[in-house]
Amino acid sequence: MEKAMFGAGCFWGVEEAFRTMEGVKDTKVGYSGGATENPTYEQVCTDRTGHAEVIYIEFDPAVVSYEQLLDKFFTIHDPTQLNRQGPDVGKQYRTAVFFYSPEQEKSAKEKIEQLGKSGKFRAPIATEVTPAAKFYPAEEYHQRYLQKRGVNVCH
């Protein structure tokens, strides 16, 4: 098993998109990239902890590649929006790839360069690529939030 972590706005819909991919063995929503230890949802929502809402993924690379995860990541959110996604505004909603290896870093940077040259987006890609920091799982009521409610999209 390998792991991946992405920030792409509100983590509920992001988790659902990855959870259902073949080869993804486990997903958890939570917080990473900030300074506060063991942050709560309420603290992260203040936009003062520095954390992003993230999805932590364990995946089988024999079934799904990291590059396929990156492809999914860049299709489920707008990577050109800085510190926001749709109606959600704040650094906690930033677009980010948190890499666990030099290979993941290289793949993420190459994908961003490729997408930037493709003309697919009208604005520059704002996705940050940064080493994976400690992952703090979100409160239980956030885990598989959409699945628990019988829906598969937020808005």
Q: What is the pLDDT of residues 102-116, one digit of tens each?
A: 999 999 999 999 999
pLDDT exceeds cutoff 80 at 10: yes
Q: Does the pLDDT at position 154 exceed 70?
A: no
Q: What is the distance between the alpha carbons of residues 92 and 103, in angstroms, rounded to a whole number? A: 26
Domain ranges of the chain: 2-148
Q: What average pLDDT does this structure show over 79-105?
A: 95
pLDDT at 60: 98
- Chain centroid, CA 62 distance in Å: 21
Beta-carbon contacts of 72 under 8 Å, excluding residues fewer than 6 positions away, are: 17, 18, 21
Among 4, 5, 8, 10, the one annotated catalytic: 10
**Structure confidence at residue 153 as a pLDDT band (50, 70, 90):** low
Is 154 a residue of the active site?
no
**Contacts with 43 (C-beta within 8 Å, 6 or more apart), sequence order:** 36, 49
User: What's the pTM?
Assistant: 0.93
pLDDT of residue 152: 66
For residues 104 and 16, the model is more confident at 104
Q: Which CATH class is domain 2-148?
A: alpha beta
**Residue 80: band (very low, low, confident or very high) from pLDDT cuts 50, 70, 90:** very high
Q: How confident is the model at residue 155 (pLDDT cuts 50, 70, 90)?
A: low
Please compute the mean of the pLDDT values over residues 142-146 and round it to a whole number: 79
